[in-house]
A and B are shown apart, each in its own frame.
Chain A
Amino acid sequence: MKNDDLTAIEVAEGIKSGTISCVELILKIYDRIERSELNCFITLNKENAVEKAREVDKKRNEEEYRHKKLLGVPIAIKDSISTKGIQTTCASEILKGYIPPYDATVIEALKREGAIIIGKTNMDEFCMGTSTETSYYGPTRNPHDLSRVPGGSSGGSAAAISAGETVLALGSDTGGSIRCPASFCGVVGLKPTYGLVSRYGLIAYANSLEQIGPMASNVTDTALLLEVLAAKDERDSTQVKIKNNTATNYLASSLNRNEDADVDKEVKGMRIGIPKEFIEGVSAEVEKSVWNAVHKFEDSGAEYELISMRDLKYALAAYYVIAMSEASSNLARFDGLRYGLRSGKDEDWHTTFSRIRGEGFGDEVKRRIILGTYALSAGYYGRYYLKSLKVRTLIKNEFEAALKRHDILAMPTMPFVAFKLGEKIKNPLSLYLADVNTVPVNLAGVPSISIPCGFSNGLPIGLQLVSGHFEEDKILKAALCFDTLANRSQQ
């Protein structure tokens, strides 16, 4: 994070009190983006954003505006989320030029709260990747080292926050796509419980696994943004109706713990589970950094226990089978008929669409659709797809059992720090293996946050915290406590 950058809360307060000009802030951000080498954005929304900023500066004193939680706060949106009137491509050639006629529910909520959309961020094509290298629009670079990847698939969102090209960002997370780039770029990213945030308007990849979630430079902003995103919506029938209104008041519940004395009270007696399978095989620097973080909690009175989740070794394969199977069905809609690429001369129906899809999809998307089709085909369904759904049951049970005995689970987000561009992309399986610590969380549907916990040779390391279904407040509180403890030990 750049030192001169403000938090979302500071921006909204500054604009309301008149100490910050929204137009100046927005122009400063576009100036940075236009001079940037990172390639964080696919599409910018400059004209519209500046116009909105003028309106915010003019009307900031009006009653209605004073209550907006994100008044004038710049936000970058992952290109997998539909934005009315702004090109949305999912980083694919097949959707080049597609302009959604409607907003995703989360975008409606952001607009209601006064946020300003900076642009659409780069990502792996259709969210399929761990490095933002599969984008049709070229890779994004890691702000900490331009020769390295930012992680993926929400790489543009994470890099933009880290480089001060936005204040907040949205990502989507199917198997780690928010947490991986948060870890590699040194920012905060949270994958909500499956069913907390409406998926209406999210271009589907694997719909039983994915969630839209908040990304920010700090934990408090993450809580504030999550609060806005968790808006109720009838258009997503998988969204769970939470009965208790205070359950989604994440900002208040985490802010209460901001006082130094409260942190000790909160951490004392906190039960942290460390599943050893998540630590085996990670790099020495990452392991050391995560243990340091655990010991900080321990020093303030938390208790930790090394535990085992024995079925975890099946999680990665089961995840990929389920994700690819769902993708093969979800991506059937892209044919160039109603929107997107319709190249060449029409022949018969099937030949035309096969050719368009062959041209419009990149290699990784093709691999996943083909393997997904294979896993669902007669003779293989039971061996791959059904088996994976059963493994999901076992993984979910293991998480639920562990989270009965522990308040949170802690582990490295990624097994290593950001790798070099081009290092893994030629070997798809080696990239899949990088997701080993993030995908089990999506199979179980539980929430999880990645927060920065250290550096190795100047590259950020991420700590992943996991809690039970709809217990986002627990990981937000723990993350906030960790920030305070880490700052304290630096002083």
Chain B
Amino acid sequence: MIKKEEIEHIGWLARIKLSEEEKELFEKQLSSILDYFAVLDEIDTAEVEPTYHVIGITDVVRQDDPKESLGQSEVLRNAPKKEEGYIKSPRML
């Protein structure tokens, strides 16, 4: 069970603004999904190691050779707001 207030709080943590209707809809839907996830409580995994990565490769290295990269105009082409070669962000505070 997950409450509307909790959904609103997590939405803020995830930086997703939710409408009142969405919060109400999600309260019901997310609660039923979490009920289903409770099946995980049934199984004892105390002695089991977690698998972060199925193939188990670690410490991949390569030569640090410089390669051609994208130019400034290509990098900025998709930015909706820009000024003098910079991406323009909303104010921080």
Q: Chain A interface (Cβ within 8 Å of chain B)?
A: 97-99, 101-102, 193-195, 208, 234, 237-238, 240, 311, 313-314, 317-318, 320-321, 328, 332, 335-342, 346-355, 357-358, 361, 363, 366-367, 369-371, 373-374, 377, 383-384, 386-394, 396, 427-429, 432, 443-445, 469
Taking a contact as CB atoms under 8 Å apart, the answer to whether B15 and A350 are in contact is yes
Taking a contact as CB atoms under 8 Å apart, the answer to whether A390 and B48 are in contact is yes
Taking a contact as CB atoms under 8 Å apart, the answer to whether B49 and A317 are in contact is no
Taking a contact as CB atoms under 8 Å apart, the answer to whether B37 and A384 are in contact is yes
**CA of A346 to CA of B70 in the docked complex: distance in angstroms?**
28
**CA of A237 to CA of B54 in the docked complex: distance in angstroms?**
14
Known contacts A195-B55, A237-B60; decide if A370 and B50 are in contact (CB<8 Å).
Answer: no
Interface pairs (27), CB distance under 8 Å? A98-B78, A99-B78, A101-B77, A195-B54, A238-B53, A313-B39, A314-B43, A338-B78, A339-B80, A340-B80, A346-B90, A348-B92, A349-B91, A354-B12, A358-B19, A363-B22, A366-B16, A370-B11, A370-B16, A370-B26, A373-B13, A373-B14, A384-B37, A386-B50, A390-B51, A392-B51, A428-B33
Known contacts A370-B10, A444-B54; decide if A311 and B37 are in contact (CB<8 Å).
Answer: no
Residues in B1-57 with C-beta less than 8 Å from chain A = 2, 6-7, 10-19, 22, 25-26, 29-30, 32-34, 36-37, 39-43, 45, 48-55, 57
Closest 10 CB pairs of A and B: A445-B54, A389-B50, A358-B17, A342-B80, A339-B78, A390-B45, A346-B90, A237-B60, A352-B90, A354-B17
- Secondary structure class of chain B's binding surface, majority of residues: loop
**CA of A366 to CA of B48 in the docked complex: distance in angstroms?**
32
The range of chain B's interface size is 35 or more
**How many Å from the CB of B20 to the closest CB on chain A?**
12
Residues in B65-93 with C-beta less than 8 Å from chain A = 70, 74-75, 77-81, 87, 89-93
- In the complex, chain A residues whose CB is within 8 Å of the CB of B92: 348-349
Known contacts A101-B75, A358-B16, A370-B30; decide if A349 and B89 are in contact (CB<8 Å).
Answer: yes
**How many Å from the CB of B8 to the closest CB on chain A?**
10
Taking a contact as CB atoms under 8 Å apart, the answer to whether A366 and B37 are in contact is no
Taking a contact as CB atoms under 8 Å apart, the answer to whether B51 and A396 are in contact is yes
**How many Å from the CB of A347 to the closest CB on chain B?**
6
- In the complex, chain B residues whose CB is within 8 Å of the CB of A317: 36-37, 39-40
**CA of A353 to CA of B7 in the docked complex: distance in angstroms?**
18
Known: A338-B79, A354-B16, A361-B16. 5 other contacts (CB 8 A): A346-B91, A348-B90, A353-B15, A371-B30, A390-B51
- Secondary structure class of chain A's binding surface, majority of residues: helix
**CA of A332 to CA of B14 in the docked complex: distance in angstroms?**
8
Known contacts A390-B45, A469-B55; decide if A429 and B16 are in contact (CB<8 Å).
Answer: no
- Among the listed B22, B33, B45, B91, which residue makes an inter-chain contact with A366, where contact means beta carbons less than 8 Å apart? B22
- In the complex, chain B residues whose CB is within 8 Å of the CB of A340: 78, 80
**How many Å from the CB of A379 to the closest CB on chain B?**
11
**CA of A320 to CA of B40 in the docked complex: distance in angstroms?**
11
**How many Å from the CB of B77 to the closest CB on chain A?**
7
Taking a contact as CB atoms under 8 Å apart, the answer to whether A429 and B41 are in contact is no
Closest A residue to B35 by beta carbon equals A429
User: Which of B33, B74, B77 has its CB near the most chain A CB atoms (within 10 A)?
Assistant: B33
Closest B residue to A339 by beta carbon equals B78
**How many Å from the CB of B87 to the closest CB on chain A?**
6
**How many Å from the CB of B7 to the closest CB on chain A?**
6
Taking a contact as CB atoms under 8 Å apart, the answer to whether B26 and A240 are in contact is no
**CA of A370 to CA of B8 in the docked complex: distance in angstroms?**
9
- In the complex, chain A residues whose CB is within 8 Å of the CB of B62: 234
**CA of A102 to CA of B68 in the docked complex: distance in angstroms?**
12
Closest B residue to A95 by beta carbon equals B78
- Among the listed B36, B39, B57, B90, which residue makes an inter-chain contact with A349, where contact means beta carbons less than 8 Å apart? B90
Closest A residue to B17 by beta carbon equals A358
Taking a contact as CB atoms under 8 Å apart, the answer to whether B33 and A371 are in contact is yes
**How many Å from the CB of A378 to the closest CB on chain B?**
11
**CA of A13 to CA of B91 in the docked complex: distance in angstroms?**
59
Taking a contact as CB atoms under 8 Å apart, the answer to whether B13 and A387 are in contact is no
Taking a contact as CB atoms under 8 Å apart, the answer to whether A377 and B13 are in contact is yes
- In the complex, chain A residues whose CB is within 8 Å of the CB of B33: 320, 367, 371, 428-429, 432
- In the complex, chain A residues whose CB is within 8 Å of the CB of B6: 374
- In the complex, chain B residues whose CB is within 8 Å of the CB of A391: 40, 43, 45
**CA of A222 to CA of B20 in the docked complex: distance in angstroms?**
47
